[in-house]
Amino acid sequence: MSTWEAILTIIGLAGITMLTRGFFILPSRELPIPEWLREGLRYAPIGALVAVVTPELVMSQGQLISTWNDPRLFGAAAATAWFCWRRDMLGTILSGTAVMLLFKLGLGW
């Protein structure tokens, strides 16, 4: 890719970003959104998180895991249990990571 192509690409991407982000930022008044859409958008972040995390938990190198000897499963179970018990995000991350490391380093999984 030549220098001019790279510059044109960067300018184009910046323009597309400004257009898509500015659509929500630039209007002087709030855009009317139907209540059903507003309610649905409340669940978009958790849906995106599940879509990213779940394949990482159940797949390895593009294949479904075929054994229970995977520390990610036990880390996810521990993190889920902690969150249901305490409703604490930091504890959820720490407990899941600690259990995963314990299985990975302690048992060599």
pTM, entire model:
0.61
Instruction: Classify residue 16: in a domain, yes or no.
Output: yes
Which of 23-27, 31-35, 51-55, 84-88 shows the lowest mean pLDDT across its residues?
23-27
Indicate whether 13 belongs to any domain.
yes
pLDDT at 107: 87
Flag whether 10 is in a domain: yes
SS (H, E, C) the chain: CCHHHHHHHHHHHHHHHHHHHHHHHCCCCCCCCCHHHHHHHCCHHHHHHHHHHHHHHHEECCEECCCCCCHHHHHHHHHHHHHHHHCCHHHHHHHHHHHHHHHHHHCCC
Q: Is 3 domain-assigned?
A: yes
Domain of 5, in residue numbers: 1-32
State how many domains the chain has.
Answer: 1
Is 23 a residue whose pLDDT tops 80?
A: no
pLDDT, residue 16, reads 94
Question: From CA 4, how far away is CA 91, in angstroms rounded?
Answer: 49
| C-beta separation of 104 from 78 below 8 A | no
pLDDT tens, residue by residue, 51-67: 998 998 899 888 998 88
Query: How much is the pLDDT for 84?
Result: 96
